[in-house]
């Protein structure tokens, strides 16, 4: 299958080229030439299929013949070798727990898949590739872990000093080898600005082959569809498809869900659960898309003022606003409401949400108040990654799981850097 640039000013490319480039030369995002349809028998039989079989069936058409079948199956098996359970929280609400991967957040699946694809594509590449990313927390850890020891790939992660949680910082600074962490004296926006400038800089591009590992990359974006199929596999009432609420920031995850639905996956309705960064909630009310300055919140992985993947959602719906509104709603949840939700769900249902999951839960509850039924929210991160907010909400300490105890004892290795593009440039040219 070919992938085209949404800006329509670049040639179509295969999955290999789209993965290596990240973004098209015309700066557009890549989008699949057609959305494959999955036959009804597949859904009737889904409970009898393994997660690997499901994921392979879903992803294979998008990859086409860029990766041989056997190799692709191996990549997929390694990508999803941890549980993704659907847990009932109360009578009408279920949680799809996406935090059982190595860095305890859902970005593990996309990062692990992308790193393995890139590793395969670059095995004969003479030049090393540099993956350059800015992170507000979760992306860095997932990318570091996913790309650790991937041959031919060097990873450089910029993160704002003092602004990521202790667990997040350890996850991106303790691996070493091909993973380099740059701790910037500035904000996440500063880090992102520096990365953007690096991608546009002639000297740097002469010296290095740069690529990005955020959700604009097709190899990170497309595999996220599998969550929604795994949710349906475990859904108890197959005749009554669920409403699905997705904590959203850059809108990569929910866009993958909408794509899955277009392939035939039964979903009644999607909810983009947002924090105070309400650009899309407003768009769905007014049909006017007005990017804003990012507002910092407790669910910081969703602090995005101009979601890059939303253009892909418009592409799925061919810019037909009324059709889009039929399938997608959005709510904007405040920090106060987030804390209260963590507390109430813990007290009444004995279920502990992280701040992102709480935004998803409350958005779903609001929707179901208007349109009664049952639904799923995606629990995108483990609560222990956000101990301050969660402990404040429930008034007690939370335990660090055994899987994290080891990493918390390791030494941080990072290079402290001024908020200065020149300094980053010096580093990249050395
Ligand atoms: C990245 C992230 C999100 C937002 O996902 P998008 O695909 O950017 O919309 C939500 N929750 C957590 C925990 C994240 O790390």
- DSSP-assigned states of every residue in 104-143: SBTHHHHHHHHHHHHHHHTTT-SSPEEEEEE-SSHHHHHH
Residue 381 Cβ inside 6 Å of ligand 1? The answer reads: yes
Q: The pTM is what?
A: 0.94
Q: Confirm if 142 and 363 have CB atoms less than 8 A apart.
A: no
Taking the C-alpha atoms of residue 291 and residue 167, their distance in angstroms, rounded to an integer, is 31
Alpha-carbon 29 to chain mean position: 16
Question: Ligand 1 mean position to 127 CA, how many Å?
Answer: 32
Domain ranges of the chain: 83-105+220-401
Taking the C-alpha atoms of residue 65 and residue 16, their distance in angstroms, rounded to an integer, is 9
Residue with CA nearest ligand 1 atom 1: 301
**Backbone Cα Rg of the chain:** 20
CATH of domain 83-105+220-401: 3.40.50.1100
Low-confidence residues in the chain, pLDDT < 70: none
Q: Which atom of ligand 1 is nearest to the CA of 138?
A: 15
Choose one of 302, 307, 311, 360 to mutate for the ligand 1 pocket test, by most ligand atoms within 8 angstroms of C-beta: 302
What pLDDT does 126 receive?
75
What pLDDT does 144 receive?
94
Which ranges constitute the DSSP H helices of 320-354? 321-327, 335-349
Residue 138 Cβ inside 6 Å of ligand 1? The answer reads: yes
Single out the catalytic residue among 2, 60, 71, 107.
Answer: 107
**How many of the other CB atoms lie within 10 Å of CB of 323?**
12
Strand 30-32 with 209-211, pairing: unpaired
What pLDDT does 255 receive?
98
Half-sphere exposure of 124 (CA within 13 A, CB side): 0
Alpha-carbon 52 to chain mean position: 20
Q: Confirm if 190 and 198 have CB atoms less than 8 A apart.
A: no
pLDDT, tens digit, 9 for 90 and up, residues 380-429: 999 999 999 999 999 999 988 887 888 889 999 999 999 999 999 999 99
- Of the candidates 23, 302, 378, the one whose C-alpha atom is nearest the C-alpha of residue 136 is 302
Is 127 among the catalytic positions?
no
Residue 112 Cβ inside 6 Å of ligand 1? The answer reads: no
Choose one of 249, 297, 358, 382 to mutate for the ligand 1 pocket test, by most ligand atoms within 8 angstroms of C-beta: 249
Question: Ligand 1 mean position to 342 CA, how many Å?
Answer: 18
Q: Which atom of ligand 1 is nearest to the CA of 248?
A: 9
What pLDDT does 76 receive?
98
Q: Confirm if 135 and 111 have CB atoms less than 8 A apart.
A: no
């Amino acid at each position: 299958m070919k992938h085209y640039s949404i800006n329509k000013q670049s040639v179509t490319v295969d999955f290999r080229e789209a993965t290596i480039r990240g973004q098209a030369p015309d700066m557009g995002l890549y989008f699949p030439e057609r959305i494959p349809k999955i036959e009804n028998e597949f859904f009737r039989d889904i409970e009898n299929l393994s997660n690997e079989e499901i994921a392979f069936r879903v992803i294979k058409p998008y990859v086409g013949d860029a990766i041989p079948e056997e190799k692709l199956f191996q990549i997929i098996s390694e990508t999803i070798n941890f549980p993704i359970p659907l847990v009932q929280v109360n009578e009408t609400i279920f949680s799809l727990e996406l935090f059982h991967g190595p860095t305890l957040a859902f970005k593990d699946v996309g990062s692990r898949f992308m790193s393995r694809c890139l590793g395969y594509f670059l095995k004969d590449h003479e030049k090393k590739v540099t993956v350059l990313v800015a992170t507000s927390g979760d992306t860095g850890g997932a990318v570091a872990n996913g790309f650790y020891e991937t041959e031919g790939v060097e990873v450089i992660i910029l993160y704002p000093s003092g602004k990521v949680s202790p667990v997040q910082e350890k996850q991106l600074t303790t691996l070493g080898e091909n993973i380099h962490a740059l701790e910037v004296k500035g904000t996440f926006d500063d880090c992102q600005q520096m990365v953007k400038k690096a991608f546009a800089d002639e000297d740097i591009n002469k010296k290095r082959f740069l690529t990005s590992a955020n959700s604009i990359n097709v190899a990170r974006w497309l595999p996220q569809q599998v969550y929604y199929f795994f949710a349906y596999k475990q859904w108890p009432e197959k005749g009554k498809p669920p409403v699905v609420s997705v904590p959203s920031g850059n809108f990569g995850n929910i866009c993958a869900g909408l794509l899955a639905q277009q392939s035939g996956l039964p979903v009644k309705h999607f909810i983009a659960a947002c924090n105070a960064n309400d650009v899309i909630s407003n768009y769905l009310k007014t049909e006017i898309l007005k990017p804003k300055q990012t507002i910092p919140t407790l669910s910081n992985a969703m602090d995005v003022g101009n979601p890059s993947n939303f253009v892909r959602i418009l592409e799925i719906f061919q810019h037909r606003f009324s059709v889009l509104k039929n399938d997608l709603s959005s709510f904007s949840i405040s920090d106060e409401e987030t804390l209260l939700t963590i507390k109430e769900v813990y007290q009444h249902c004995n279920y502990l949400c992280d701040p992102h999951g709480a935004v998803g839960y409350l958005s779903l509850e609001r929707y179901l108040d208007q349109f009664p039924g049952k639904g799923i929210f995606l629990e995108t991160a483990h609560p222990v990654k956000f101990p301050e907010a969660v402990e404040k909400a429930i008034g007690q300490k939370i335990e660090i799981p055994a899987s994290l105890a080891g990493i918390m004892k390791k030494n941080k290795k990072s290079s402290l850097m001024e908020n200065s593009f020149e300094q980053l440039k010096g580093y990249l040219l050395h």
